[in-house]
Each structure stands twice: as C-alpha cells, then as structure tokens.
Structure 1
Amino acid sequence: MANSLLDKLYNKLNNEHGNRVCKDITEDACNHVTRNYFLILLSSTLTKLGDTLSNPKTVLTWLMSYVNAPVSLISLVVPIRESGSMIPQIALTKYINKKPIRKWVWVIGSCLQFVAIASIGFITLLFKGTLAGWLILLAVVVFSLSRSMCSVTSKDVLGKSIPKTRRGTLKGYTVSVSGVLVLLAGLYMLYKSKSDATIDFYSNVVFFASVMWLFGAIIYSRIKEFPQAVSEEKESKNKDVVSKLELLKTDKQFRDFVIARSLLLCSALTAPYYVVLAQTNIGKESYLLGLFIIANGIASIISAPFWGRFSDRSSKNVMAVSVLIASALGIIAYFIISFSETLKSTLWIYPLAFFILGIAHGGVRLGRKTYVVDMAKGNERTNYVAVSNTVIGMILLVTGGLSALVSLISTEDVILVLSLFGILGAYKSYRLPNVEAAKD
C-alpha cells in the first residue's frame, strides 16, 4: 500500500505516465527508483535546512560577532568553509573510485558534519574572543573536509539511482521543501529576535542545525544502491592528482564547463556583500538576520521546482538565465547605492535584493549540478565532480581575499565587478552543448 502511494506520488511529481523512465541507470536500479527518490529527497532536505541554519554568510558571522571574535578571523569563515569542501575532492576520488558502493562515504561525512556543527554550539557557550574564533575556525575546517566526502559521492549516487530527466526535478523539489522549512525557521528567528536573541538562542539554532545531518545520514543509509564496476588497476599515472587535472586539457566540453562554472561564482560571492550593505545603510539589528533567512526561504519555495524541471530540459540554459538575473541585480544595486540616497536607506530594498539573488543562485546551483551529473557516467562522473570542485575551491580561496579589498574599494564596486564576470559566465554557459538532449 505504501509503495503504491509512493509510486503514485512519484508519477505525479514527475508527470510520468505509462512505463517508468529509466534512462541512464541499470535495470536493478530502475526497480528501486521511487524508494531512492524519496530517500534522497528527505535526506537532502534535512541537510539543506542544516546548511541554512549554520550558514557562514549569516548565522556563523552573527555567532562570531556575539562571542567577540576578531574581524580578521570572521572574514576567513566563508572561504575556508567553501574551498575546504572542494579542494580535497580530487584526492578523495582515488579512494572512492575503488568502492562499488559509495553511499557509506556520504553517511560518514554527514555524521562528521553533525559533530563539527554541534561543537560550534558548545564553543559559543564556553569560550569568548580570539580563542572562540580560532576554535570555530577549526570546527569549520573539520566540517568542510567532511562535506567534501558528501559532495564527491552524492552526485555519483544520484546518477546511479535516479534516471536522467528526473534528477533536476528531484533537486528542485528538495530545495523547495527545504525552503518551506527555512521560511518557518526564519519567521521563528524574527519573532525571537524581539525578546530573546541571546547567545543561548543562537547556540540552540546551531545545535538544531547539527542534528539535521545526523538524521540525514540515517535516512541516506537506507538508499538501495547497486554495485558498479571498479577499476583494479595498480597505482599508475592515471591515478594521481596531476593526471586527473589533465582532464581540463584533454576534455574540451569539461574544460568549457569548468570555465563557465568559475564565472558563475558571482551569484554566491556577492551574497555577503548585500548583507554588508544592509548593515552599513540600515543597521546591525538582529532582526535583519531573520529577514534575510526568510527572503532566501521564499526564493527557494517559489523558484526551485521551476529551475528543476527547466534543468531536466536544458541545464546549461538554466545556468545562463539564472546568472544573468544575478548580474542584472548586481548592476542595478550598484547604481542604487551609488546614486540614490533615498533608496539605499530603505529597509525593504535589501531583503528584496536577497530574495532575487536567492532565486538566481538557486538556478545556478541546480543547473550546474544537473549538468555535471548528466554529462558523464560512473567513475568519469566522480572524476568530473572532483576536478571541477577542486578547481573552483582554489578559485574561491583566492577570491576570499576580496574581503581584504573591501577596505580599499567600495562594497558596491565589488558587486559590480562580480556581476560583469557573471554576464560572461552566462555567455559561456549558453555555448555549452545540451547534455540532456544527448543520447545514451
């Protein structure tokens, strides 16, 4: 009975009638698509909620400010968290490619993320100042390394378990459902900020976020993953890190994707600068945190299903359209901040901008994740994910130095420059081949 209901729900969500679509997966995996679809949906929803409630651009920055950590340490949180989860992936593939079943790597990584985020909650309660700042950074390093384990395996498990033309839709529903939960969390934080926005409250938020990874690991472990062939080659040149990076030289389509993805970073990198603009022109009242979280949640609810279905038709066009939205927003924001004293002092303009940016960034993420999964198969997919994430991680580490440049150039100038790169990223994305249309 339960399976019948899930099958009906799956068919409705994917507008599927007649025979089950099983493109790009094995016959055994096809028999478990419905079960795996909802297990991935639920586990990903929980971890995305945890991500939002421990976001380094908002929540962790607020926490570190509360414990009086030095600004120099606060500025390191975002680049360490983002690059630390990407750079190790190319080294991890050597180990992961030997595993016929890979979901357990994700489960272990998720459990370690639970430990790392929970430790941040304890640190904020027990320590203050510089010591607290360094301990939080150490926890973020552990979190990032654990996250890299999940990132490099999740797309592989998705590619083995869910058919092509259904993967983007699944990601869209995941973001949308988590967006509802994020919206509720933001409303609660906005309510509590009026009376009880203490360090205990924010620590409890982080504790709650950490538990999401633990529940996510338990659910993910129930996925029915079938073994895939693994290479038993002895250590050789083809197994080292340098040889994997040679994919950028030998595989033109993959190289073009990495270049495009690098230029799409504007949607992520501009986000904290909108927060800085709000704090500069409106103030640092705690309710602003709730407003930004609410705006991001609503953006996910509204846009994710659309981006998901769009990605299953053409993920490269999703990348192009969504980054154009982020770039146009950045250019408009630049002119408002530079030339309109009235608008830049208006409260609603910043949550609105964050809402639009949330829609755009959601499209960028869904588009590029669907593209890399649909572009390859098996170990090739794992290598593509690892190499692209490692390269992007290095770029993020370098661009993390932008925080030091803010004292030399204005925040709105940084947004403008990043937005112009985004326009180039839209062009490069549009020029990519449409992998969803490719035949197996």
Structure 2
Amino acid sequence: MNVFAGLGSLVVEDEANRVCRDIPEGACAPQPRNAGLHIASLTATKAGDALIDPKLVLPWLLNAVGAPAAAIGVLVPLRESLALLPQLFTSHRVRRLAQRKWVWAFGSAIEAVAVAAMAATLFAFEGALAGWLTVAWLAVFALGRSLASVSYKDVLGKTISKGRRGSVTGLAGSAAAAFALAFGVSLTFGILPLEKPVLLGALVVAALLWAVAAFLFTLLHEEPGANEGAVDGLAAIANSARALWADRQFRLFCAMRGLLTVTALAPPYLLLSAGEGGSHALGQLGSFLLASAFAAIAGSYVWGRLSDRSSRWVLLLSAASAATVLGVAAAFSAFQPFNDLWPLMAPFAFFLLQIAYQGVRQGRNTHLTDMAPADDRAVYTAFSNTFIGIVLLAMGGFGLVADWLGTPAVLALFALLALAALPVGWQLDEVQRQ
C-alpha cells in the first residue's frame, strides 16, 4: 500500500508538518494513504465517465445500432436526474452507517455492472430493443451513481482534512482529464478507428475501471461514527427539509448552484450554434472533444487548489466567466456578419466554458463539504442534489425555446442566468476561514 501513501503525499504534508482539521483523530495518521486511495478511485471513475460519455459516445453507439431518436434524446436527462433525485430518500439510511465507504463502493459496483450490460446489449441487439435496453441500463447506472454521490462527500470529510479536499479531487480530475485527452486524440486522428467495436471495447474498459475503483475504496481507513440521530421516513425527511431551508447560507448555495447548471447544459447549444450538431458526426466533433479535455486538465487541479482557499471566489469567478462566454457566443451566433467567423471561434469558447464548468464543480463540492456540519454532510448533499435534479428537469424545456426562438436565444438566456448567480454568490460565507 506504500504506492497509495506516496500518491497521497502529493497533496498531504509529511507527519511533522501535517495539520488535521475537522476529521477524527484516528484519521490523521492514515491521511496520505487515504488521499492516494481517493485519488486512484476517483481517477478510475472519472476516466470511465470519459469512455462512456452520454453526450457523445453513447448517442453515437445508439445511432450506429439504429435506435430511435427518442431513446437517444433521453440519455442525458435520465442519467442526471436519476443520479440526483433518489438521494433525498437514501441520505438518512446512509447516515445510519458507521462507515459510508461501503455505500460508495456498492454504488460503483452497480455502475460497473450496468456499463458492462450496456456493452453486451449493444453488441447483441439492434434497433429499438437495443436503444431502450440501453436506456434501462443507464437508469440502473444512474441509481448506482446516486449512491456514490450521496456518500462521497461524507467519506471525504471523515478521511481528508479541511484544506486538502479540493486538492485531492482536483488532482484526480486532472489525471482523468489527461486520459480523456488521449482518448479524444486517438479518435480524432484515427489512432483508434471510429467504429462500433472500438467504442464497445471502451465501454468494457470503463466497466473494469469502475470495478477497480469499488475495490480500492473499500481499503480506505474510515473511522466509524458521525451517525448519531439517523432517522427514516417521509415525516423525518420533511422535518429535515424545513431545518435545512432555515439555513440561509444553504439556501444561497442551492440558488447559486441552480443558476450555474447552465454551465452543464450549454455545451450542446454551443455546438449547434457552430453548426457542429449531430451525435452521428462524432468524428467532426474532434476539436470540441480536445477542447473539453484540455479544459479539464487545466481547470480541475487549479480550481481545486483555489477552492481550498476560497470556494466562494471560485464560484464567483466561474459564474462571471460563464456569463461572458455565453453572452459572446449568443451575440456572435446571432448576427449575420459573424456567421463565418463564429465556427472558428466556437471551440475556443467551448474551452473557456468548460473551464468555468470545472470551476463550478470544484467550487460547489468543496464549499458544501466545508460548509456542512460534520454529522450532516450526507443530508446536506442529498437535499442539494435533489433540488438540482428538479432544476435540471425543469431546464430541459430550453430545448423548446431553441425550437421557437433559435439557439442564440437560449445562449443569451443562459448568460443571464449565470450573471444572476453573481449577486447570490456574493452573499456566501468564506467557509474555509471558519
């Protein structure tokens, strides 16, 4: 296990200089090894996400087997909503457990099985049957993701000291982004042929990565505890909701996170604005794939380090960046004189938007972990994610706005929402200084 301690030492000081904040005393000494296991597990799952990519890879595969457009169109909303909404009902059960690492490992194992089943389905079947079976397995995958998500911040908070959590997740994000970059380069330049067997193989590799991550996470040293007062039932959930919503800082955080969902929803519209739409043309999206990977590499670790100093400022800077990029994109794609120039600029705009998206992800994760009381992280996470799941379902209606008013109008609305996040985020506390 020395390899994991060595990996963790990249973000955790040696024993003489180590400071342990907001974690059990027994978790202080194992921090380097725990950090290494976190980094390895997260890198594996994030690399798996790059290989299955429900915004590009899965739609391409479904199109290749002749699945109906309705099945392709439901992939992203289904994954995002089912990964978030069930957490309201599972957080209290997670809180009952003295060690929550087993929940994350179980959720990742479910994801491994679901991805392997998708690969088998797309290999064995075609047409509508293949499409809807893949959608069903993606639903199972999303439920596994919800278990991992609702438990992760709590495990991170119990095993890694405040001031180092953003660095751990940021380093894993950058490592996985490098993997995604290699995958994108291989497809773009023909090193890996853009063919069904190759992408099915990528799904099999992704399933193996999730299985390895599940095993590694069980090796964490997690001190039992922080499970007092665990309750269940709809009445308890309602009581918790009232108590949480009475927390003004939590309301502000949810509002800002809701407004900044535009950084996740905008990329397809940005692609459409540049005339690059169409999941069947994955090979034509190479520049966007590479831009996304470069942004993840550049953004994850840097934003992670900055969020350990001030997650509030990371969210504010990300909101300002997203509002600027989306506003420029709306203007350039709407006016005829820029029609020839905009397709050349769009990949760079996409890169900047993905940088902002990475900032939102790192900032919100670190802010919520450091803001929530140690005994209530799972509940705070579940309520926040459930709220965002509802917001994402509601914002799916922007597809109708694009049909009625055009893609530039959607980009302009997204820019206004990102801009509205600034006065909300300004009222957040500097939780790293508390």
TM interval, shorter chain, is over 0.9
Matches within 5 A, 1:170-249: 170-192=168-190, 196-231=193-228, 239=236, 241-249=237-245
Q: TM-score, normalised by structure 2?
A: 0.93
Shift of 1:303: 1.9
Is residue 2:331 matched to residue 1:335?
yes
State the 1:320 CA deviation: 1.0
Aligned to 2:40: 42
21-30 vs 120-129, which moves further: 120-129
Q: How has the CA–CA distance of structure 1 residues 42 and 258 changed in structure 2, closer, same or farther, with 3 Å as cutoff? A: same
Structure 1 SS opposite 2:252: helix
Q: 1:324-403, aligned counterparts within 5 Å? A: 324-340=320-336, 344=340, 347-403=343-399
Q: Tell me what 1:113 maps to.
A: 111
Taking the aligned partners of 1:177 and 1:280, their CA distance within structure 2 comes to 28
Question: Would the aligned equivalents of 1:264 and 1:426 in 2 still touch at CA under 8 Å?
Answer: no
**Cα distance change of structure 1 residues 155 and 402 upon mapping to structure 2, 3 Å threshold:** same
Q: Do the aligned partners of 1:296 and 1:358 also contact (CA within 8 Å) in 2?
A: yes
Could you say which residue in structure 2 is the equivalent of 1:310? 306
Any residues of structure 2 matched to 1:54-93 within 5 Å, and which?
Answer: 54-93=52-91
**How far has the Cα of 1:260 moved from its partner?**
1.0
Structure 2 Cα separation of the partners of residues 212 and 225 of structure 1: 22
Query: Does the C-alpha gap of structure 1 residues 286 and 230 become closer, same or farther in structure 2, counting only changes over 3 Å?
Result: closer
Normalised TM-score (structure 1): 0.92
1:362 to partner: Cα distance:
0.4
Give the letter aligned to residue 326 of structure 1.
A
Is 1:415 paired with 2:411?
Answer: yes
Q: Which residue of 2 aligns with 1:251?
A: 247
Q: CA 1:336/1:41 → structure 2, altered by over 3 Å: closer, same or farther?
A: same
Distance 1:214 1:100 in 2: 23
Range with greater deviation from structure 2 (341-350 or 289-298): 341-350
Task: State which drifts further: 284-293 or 245-254.
Answer: 284-293
Contact 2:92 2:379 in 1 (8 A): no
Shift of 1:21: 1.3
Q: Work out the CA distance in 2 between the residues paired with 1:272 and 1:110.
A: 27
Moved more, 348-357 or 13-22: 13-22
Change (3 A) 1:348 1:120: farther
Residue 236 of structure 1 deviates from its aligned partner by: 7.0
Q: 1:51 aligns with which of 41, 45, 49?
A: 49
What amino acid is the match of 1:437? R
Contact 2:8 2:31 (C-alpha < 8 Å) held by counterparts: no
Tell me the equivalent position of 2:95.
97
Letter in structure 2 aligned against 1:84: L
Name the structure 1 match of 2:271. Answer: 275
Letter aligned with residue 376 of structure 1 = A
CA contact under 8 A between 1:161 and 1:225: conserved in structure 2? yes
AA partner of residue 135 (structure 1): L
Alignment correspondent of 1:260: 256
Distance of aligned partners of 1:338 and 1:105 in 2 relative to their CA distance in 1, 3 Å threshold:
same
1:126 corresponds in structure 2 to: 124
Q: Look up the equivalent residue of 2:225 and give its one-letter code.
A: Q
* Bigger mean CA offset, 241-250 vs 408-417: 241-250
The number of equivalent residue pairs is 434
Distance 1:52 1:234, change over 3 A: closer
> Residue deviations 1:42-69, cap 9 Å, x none?
1101101111221222222222222232
Q: What is the CA-CA distance between 1:248 and the residue it aligns to? A: 4.3
Distance in 2 (CA, whole Å) between partners of 1:202 and 1:338 is 36
Quote the Cα distance in structure 1 between the aligned partners of 2:430 and 2:420: 18
Gaps of 5+ in 2: none
> After superposition, where does 1:146-161 map in structure 2 within 5 Å?
146-161=144-159
Alpha-carbon distance in structure 2 between the residues aligned to 1:429 and 1:152 = 23
In 1, Cα distance between equivalents of 2:144 and 2:274: 32
User: What is the aligned-residue identity percentage?
Assistant: 34
Encode CA deviations 1:102-161: one digit per residue, 9 max, x unaligned: 101111100110111122222222222322221121111111111000000010000000
Checking the alignment, whether the CA contact within 8 Å between 1:260 and 1:425 is kept in structure 2 is: yes
Equivalent-residue separation in structure 2 for 1:252 and 1:417 (angstroms): 26
